[in-house]
């Protein structure tokens, strides 16, 4: 059975990062009322996190594994947080949008509010940890990572910051993700494939 080359995988992850940037821009434009809220804008909102998860996976496979256990822990935390945020975005965009304000306030005051807060905190910690480990690897440009991490701060505290600050956070996330995606895509062919582990070699020997 043939598998896609490393370059194909990296380009796919980079393309997903570009998709995440586009969706984040749509979200920012919707919140700023530059474009109207519609069924389409509400439905695509959670795709930003799904695409971002693919991007960070590609970056981790290409570069993050050199950071050892710390890099793995940062990646797993970030991946878990992004997966949790998919559910948060579905709730905010597809459930809260259809409910009266009183019902939303009641839900936020209960267990759902706790879950939303935990997901936001994990997103902030996971994003910062992942950005730091990537910066320490000295293989991924610092500027887009820092911009992406900076944008995560107001987004994580969306319930406590002014709308304009949240929009700027979404814009920073979009620019950071798009910048990383473009850089990653352009260098996909030059990145060395993941090293073959002793486990993989042993498995290949047994198969032979």
Span 65-74, pLDDT tens digits: 778 889 999 9
Residue 118 lies in a domain: yes
Residue 112 lies in a domain: yes
Considering the entire predicted model, what is its pTM? 0.85
Instruction: Measure the N-to-C terminal CA separation of the chain; round to a whole number of Å.
Output: 15
Over the stretch 172-204, which tens digit does the pLDDT of each residue have? 999 999 999 999 999 888 886 655 444 444 444
Over the stretch 151-177, which tens digit does the pLDDT of each residue have? 999 999 987 889 899 999 999 999 999
Average pLDDT, stretch 98-120?
A: 87
DSSP letter for each residue of 149-167: HHHHHHHHTTTTS-HHHHH
Q: What is the pLDDT of residue 189?
A: 80
Q: What is the pLDDT of residue 202?
A: 45
Over the stretch 15-62, which tens digit does the pLDDT of each residue have? 999 999 999 999 999 988 899 989 899 999 999 999 999 999 999 998
The total domain count for the chain is 1
Residue 98 lies in a domain: yes
Dihedral of CA atoms 111, 115, 116, 122 in degrees, nearest 10, equals: 160
Residue 173 lies in a domain: yes
Residue 176 lies in a domain: yes
In terms of residue numbers, what domain contains 169?
6-207
Residue 1 lies in a domain: no
Residue 161 lies in a domain: yes
CB atoms within 10 A of CB 69: 7
DSSP symbol at 133? H
**Would you place residue 207 in the very low, low, confident or very high pLDDT band (cuts 50, 70, 90)?**
very low
Position 83 pLDDT exceeds 80: yes
């Amino acid at each position: 059975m043939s598998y896609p080359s490393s370059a194909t995988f990296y380009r796919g992850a980079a393309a997903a990062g570009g998709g995440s940037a586009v969706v984040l821009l749509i979200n920012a434009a919707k919140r700023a009322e530059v474009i109207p809220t519609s069924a389409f804008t509400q439905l695509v909102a959670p795709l930003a996190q799904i695409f971002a998860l693919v991007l960070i996976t590609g970056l981790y496979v290409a570069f993050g594994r050199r950071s050892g256990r710390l890099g793995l822990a940062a990646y797993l935390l970030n991946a878990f947080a992004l997966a949790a945020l998919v559910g948060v975005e579905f709730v905010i965009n597809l459930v809260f949008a259809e409910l009266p304000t009183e019902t939303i306030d009641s839900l936020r005051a209960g267990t759902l509010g706790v879950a939303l807060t935990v997901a936001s905190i994990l997103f902030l910690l996971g994003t910062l940890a992942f950005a730091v480990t990537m910066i320490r690897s000295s293989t991924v440009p610092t500027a887009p990572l820092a911009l992406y991490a900076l944008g995560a701060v107001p987004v994580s505290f969306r319930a406590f910051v002014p709308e304009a600050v949240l929009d700027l956070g979404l814009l920073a996330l979009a620019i950071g993700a798009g910048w990383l995606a473009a850089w990653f895509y352009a260098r996909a062919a030059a990145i060395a494939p993941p090293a073959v582990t002793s486990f993989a070699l042993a498995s290949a020997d047994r198969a032979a």
